[in-house]
Amino acid sequence: MYGEISELINIGRELHLRGWLPATGGNLSARLKEELICITASGSHKGHLTMEDFVFVDLRGNVLEGRGKPSAETELHLLVYRLFPEVRSVLHVHSLNSTLISRLSGDKVVLEGYELLKAFNGIRTHQTTIEVPVLENSQDMRELSKKVEEALREGPGTYGFLLRSHGLYTWGGSIREAYIRLEAFDFLFECELKLLLGGKR
Amino acid sequence: MYGEISELINIGRELHLRGWLPATGGNLSARLKEELICITASGSHKGHLTMEDFVFVDLRGNVLEGRGKPSAETELHLLVYRLFPEVRSVLHVHSLNSTLISRLSGDKVVLEGYELLKAFNGIRTHQTTIEVPVLENSQDMRELSKKVEEALREGPGTYGFLLRSHGLYTWGGSIREAYIRLEAFDFLFECELKLLLGGKR
Amino acid sequence: MYGEISELINIGRELHLRGWLPATGGNLSARLKEELICITASGSHKGHLTMEDFVFVDLRGNVLEGRGKPSAETELHLLVYRLFPEVRSVLHVHSLNSTLISRLSGDKVVLEGYELLKAFNGIRTHQTTIEVPVLENSQDMRELSKKVEEALREGPGTYGFLLRSHGLYTWGGSIREAYIRLEAFDFLFECELKLLLGGKR
Amino acid sequence: MYGEISELINIGRELHLRGWLPATGGNLSARLKEELICITASGSHKGHLTMEDFVFVDLRGNVLEGRGKPSAETELHLLVYRLFPEVRSVLHVHSLNSTLISRLSGDKVVLEGYELLKAFNGIRTHQTTIEVPVLENSQDMRELSKKVEEALREGPGTYGFLLRSHGLYTWGGSIREAYIRLEAFDFLFECELKLLLGGKR
């Protein structure tokens, strides 16, 4: 448990310095046991996390331990853990690239022809396409969570999703894998965003 | 007192590395007691601050302690402390994003629809708008301070203001809150600036 | 041997923080003896390398030592070592600049008139031109390696090559020299990319 | 002496990480005594300097001590020290902003209306203009040095100059002052470059 939390603390510090976790944006979670999730508390600054900034919840969102309030978006994390039993970590960031690419796109971002697509497991060639769904942002977590669930059920191979003008959710079978996918997504979004803003898309 | 100053020193070091405090630009202050403010000295480099770079003033700007000269813009910091008794810290940066967005905008910057708007206290939905006033830069601190006061009195919910081709002022009920607002503003200005320079605004 | 590997570990950490080695992208190698190459293992994260992430191969790709699988692109590294006996290190990165410049260019990128061209040995004036071949990306290493060999044999002074939507390969007579060329290439690609996206090319 | 050199080593490390000293580009010098200058050796990497990377020369360029060869551009540093007896440090960087702004401009870059102009000593208002001469790059140091001398003699208040597609030279009455001017120039060049590439100039 201390291992996972300290890995999330380190990732928070690094991603904050890279500008992906501005202000109190974003939240980080890990599955410690099948039905035990730790997640950053609402309002905590993800670049300066301590052990006290984590809350422990079960898969229905009941708080088991921890002084803070779990993030308002805990429901989205739990949805991913419920849908995919193999997932051990969910990372949500407010990077500039994910915020703007979601703002400038329709209902999906299409990533095509990049070697870095091979960072997603199961993909063995750059001659492929990943579609990342873009969902309308909402403060109604029940409604939003329903829409995300539909999007994820329709696309079994989905590795993440975007909320418009908000940010990216991604996950993996380990914290390391979630972190790798996060880097891959942000890099690819940055490529697409630069092409779009430079009039090359 | 040492706690607040050392927090400002750390913030200065971090923000300098992020490019928000170039050359001798910017200044950082905190309210230590109701009528006691510490502020960075004029001409000091905010990325390499030491205890000696701070000056102590009262709310009318009288120097109480400290070897340096208080920053020329001390008057603007004090104005904020006088207007808002709950404010404990005022941060002013010359980031590229605040400099350019103020140069390219009219008398305000409108931020709309971003999830990160929720970083400002009292805001609970992205379906809102924040208007950041842009004031003409001036070296006449009396005149400038009067204009800032008018702008702040008109908009009670204001979280900060921009000086054209100069930078951003923001504040909070703690140093941490001011820092969080600073990150939120700069992120949102970067989004708007990229859209503007990419012909998407 | 420990010296070279620890130099590659440090370079990996630095280049990852600069965004040139996102996710599991890129690979780093050094020639330890004439016929002994160490190279990063497939799937390792190049920003967090340890001694265990290296595999030892001979010039035909036979694994001599190491627990991991050598990178799929080992063949391209070995090709460079076979063609140029003086080369001691080959570095391959997935930087944003090399990915996008290769995506937006034809079969070569032309770098002209920059003082930084003098960073490549043998070049003593900015009034010169370097042509960097851009090859179509492929997952068929045998075919790709043949095309790269042709490109390198045709241009004896070549310092590196790009794979489209993939990244850059460069090398040198020492790890330091390969690192210097990498920095020079990325800087020059960033210049060209900014000009291109800003409509100045 | 050790103080000045270790200050230059630290500045080199920092500026390299910010991308202003790519490959072996740039050079850093300080005046230790009226007629004693230390300068980085030719070919050294300015992000990884050690004491051994410095060479000691007099104002005519005679090597007094040090194992390396002084930078080919030593002549330009010495010119500044000869013209301005109060100068204690000359810094030359190959930042992207200085490289590109010089490539896209005519014979000068005009900086106007920015608060940060006050970082240059003697300037007390943003309502002013600084003109930075842009000289054609040349490998003939004698000729180049003559042209730089003309440009500097014509503009007594000049704080620095650009070499086209090459980089920036600036200086100050202390290493700290030269560093502050460098930051101010690069910030202002980045502002102007973004406006130019975004079609706002």
Averaged confidence pLDDT in chain D:
95
pLDDT of residue B137: 97
pLDDT of residue B156: 60
Asked whether residue B2 carries a pLDDT value surpassing 70, the answer given is yes
- B115 interfacial to chain A (CB closer than 8 Å): yes
Minimal-distance CA residue of chain B relative to A25: B116
pLDDT of residue D53: 96
Residues of B in contact with A23 (CB under 8 A): 116, 119, 180-181, 183-184, 187
> How many Å apart are CA B26 and CA B28, to the nearest integer?
7
pLDDT of residue C157: 65
Is there a contact between A184 and A120 (Cβ–Cβ < 8 Å)? yes
- B13 interfacial to chain D (CB closer than 8 Å): no
Could you give the domains of chain D? 2-197 (3.40.225.10)
- C174 interfacial to chain A (CB closer than 8 Å): no
Q: How much is the pTM?
A: 0.97
> How many Å apart are CA A111 and CA D95, to the nearest integer?
32
Residues of D in contact with C126 (CB under 8 A): 137, 139, 165-166
Which of B50, B93, B197 to probe by mutation at the D interface, max D CB count within 10 Å? B197
List CB contacts of A122: < 8 A, sequence separation 6 or more: A157
Residues of B in contact with A45 (CB under 8 A): 176, 180
- D46 interfacial to chain C (CB closer than 8 Å): no
Minimal-distance CA residue of chain A relative to C45: A180
Q: Say how far residue C154 (Cα) sits from the centre of its chain.
A: 18
- D122 interfacial to chain B (CB closer than 8 Å): no
Bridge partners (DSSP) of residue C33 are C36
pLDDT tens digit sequence for B27-54: 999 999 999 999 999 999 999 999 999 9
What sign results for the dihedral spanned by CA atoms B48, A15, B193, B157? negative
Distance from CA of D142 to the nearest CA of B (A): 32
- A16 interfacial to chain C (CB closer than 8 Å): no
For residues B114-121, give the mean pLDDT. Answer: 94
Task: Kindly indicate the confidence band of residue B155, based on its pLDDT and cuts at 50, 70 and 90.
Answer: confident
Exposed/middle/buried for residue B131 (C-beta within 10 Å: 0-12, 13-18, 19+): middle
**How many C-D residue pairs are in contact by the CB < 8 A criterion?**
70
What is the 3 state secondary structure string of D129-162? EEEEEEECCCCCHHHHHHHHHHHHHHCCCCCEEE
pLDDT tens digit sequence for C2-27: 899 999 999 999 999 999 999 999 99
Asked whether residue C85 carries a pLDDT value surpassing 90, the answer given is yes
Local structure of residue C49 (DSSP, 8 states): -
Task: Kindly indicate the confidence band of residue B100, based on its pLDDT and cuts at 50, 70 and 90.
Answer: very high
pLDDT of residue B35: 95
Closest CA to B26 of B61, D91, B3, B14: B14
- A196 interfacial to chain C (CB closer than 8 Å): no
pLDDT tens digit sequence for C30-52: 999 999 999 999 999 999 999 99
Asked whether residue D156 carries a pLDDT value surpassing 80, the answer given is no
Is there a contact between B134 and B159 (Cβ–Cβ < 8 Å)? no
> How many Å apart are CA A189 and CA A196, to the nearest integer?
10
> How many Å apart are CA C191 and CA B110, to the nearest integer?
32
Compute φ and ψ for C138, nearest 5 degrees: -155, 150
Burial D176-193 (b: 16+ CB within 10 A, else e): bbbbbbbbbbbbbbbbbb
Distance from CA of B104 to the nearest CA of A (A): 17
Is there a contact between A67 and A52 (Cβ–Cβ < 8 Å)? yes
Q: Say how far residue B84 (Cα) sits from the centre of its chain.
A: 14
CB contact under 8 A, B181 and A22: no
Residues of B in contact with A196 (CB under 8 A): 198
What sign results for the dihedral spanned by CA atoms A112, C105, D103, D41? positive
Distance from CA of D43 to the nearest CA of C (A): 8
Nearest CB to C119 within list D23, D163, D199? D23
Asked whether residue D157 carries a pLDDT value surpassing 70, the answer given is no
Nearest CB to B22 within list D127, D176, D187? D187
Chains that touch C (3 or more CB pairs under 8 A): A, D
Task: Kindly indicate the confidence band of residue B122, based on its pLDDT and cuts at 50, 70 and 90.
Answer: confident
Distance from CA of D35 to the nearest CA of C (A): 29
Compute φ and ψ for D38, nearest 5 degrees: -110, 140
Task: Kindly indicate the confidence band of residue B71, based on its pLDDT and cuts at 50, 70 and 90.
Answer: confident
Is there a contact between A40 and A71 (Cβ–Cβ < 8 Å)? yes
Nearest CB to A45 within list B180, B194, B198? B180
Closest CA to A179 of A58, A30, A22: A30
Q: What is the ipTM of this complex?
A: 0.96
Between CA D108 and CA D117, with CA D111 as vertex, the angle to 5 degrees is: 135
> How many Å apart are CA C111 and CA D97, to the nearest integer?
17
In 10 A of CB B108, how many CB atoms? 16
> How many Å apart are CA B92 and CA B122, to the nearest integer?
22
pLDDT of residue C156: 60
Amino acid at D191: C
Output the six-digit token pair for A132.
């990342």
3 state DSSP class of A16: helix
Which of D13, D24, D138 to probe by mutation at the C interface, max C CB count within 10 Å? D24
Bridge partners (DSSP) of residue C167 are C163
Asked whether residue B67 carries a pLDDT value surpassing 90, the answer given is no
- A114 interfacial to chain C (CB closer than 8 Å): yes
CB contact under 8 A, A200 and C198: no
Task: Kindly indicate the confidence band of residue A156, based on its pLDDT and cuts at 50, 70 and 90.
Answer: low
CA torsion angle B14 B15 B19 B24 (round to 10): -110
List CB contacts of A200: < 8 A, sequence separation 6 or more: C104, C197
In 10 A of CB A82, how many CB atoms? 12
Output the six-digit token pair for D138.
């040349």
Residues of A in contact with B184 (CB under 8 A): 22-23, 25
* Edge-to-edge strands, sheet with D36-40: D63-65, D54-57, D36-40, D27-33, D89-93, D167-172, D160-163, D129-135, D108-112
Distance from CA of C98 to the nearest CA of A (A): 11
> How many Å apart are CA B7 and CA B25, to the nearest integer?
19
